[in-house]
Amino acid sequence: MKIVAENRKARHDYFINETYEAGIALVGTEVKSLRAGKVSLRDSYAEVVGGEVFLHNMHISPYEKANRYNHDPKRPRKLLLHKQEIKRLLGQTTQKGFTLIPLRLYFKRGKAKVELALARGKKLYDKREEIARRDAEREMARVWRGRDR
């Protein structure tokens, strides 16, 4: 499995409830740009429209060596999921506060895949609390390392 892009800020901004692996429908020049690592997941999200899931705002840079038939960098891309998964996601995203965000984009056995997360947004005080907890754990680990000497 070759990871192409990761949305590191997602775990900071959201509580992750469930994750799904989805295929992604791409055109040829998009695949070449992905293999070159020219992709950004920042500010991207997915939504269920008409029984299908689409990924919005994922930026895949145009392929430099392509001709005039290059792709649109921010076009909505269809995600490939099972019908039962789509129904479950539709039911859960209609609840207040839940959204679908991509966590990682990677190649698995030659196919482009997206790790999609069902997530709920964090408030500012949740983010501060998590930072304080992480700092406290780091401080305790540092103290315990010093005691072993």
- Please check the confidence at residue 101 and state whether its pLDDT lies above 80: yes
Average pLDDT over residues 92-99: 85
Query: What pLDDT, on the 0 to 100 scale, is given for residue 32?
Result: 87
pLDDT of amino acid 149:
59
Contacts of 93 (CB under 8 A, 6+ apart): 47, 48, 99, 100, 118
- Please determine, for residue 126, whether its predicted confidence score (pLDDT) is greater than 90: no
- Convert the pLDDT of each residue in 66-91 to its tens digit: 777 788 888 899 999 999 999 998 98
Digit-coded pLDDT (tens) for 43-62: 899 999 988 999 999 998 88
**Cβ 58 vs Cβ 77: under 8 Å:** yes
Residue 148: predicted pLDDT: 67
Give the start-to-end residue ranges of the domains of the chain.
2-122
Q: Calculate the average pLDDT of the chain.
A: 88
> Which one, of 7, 3, 5, 26, lies nearest residue 101 by Cα?
7
CATH code assigned to 2-122: 2.40.280.10
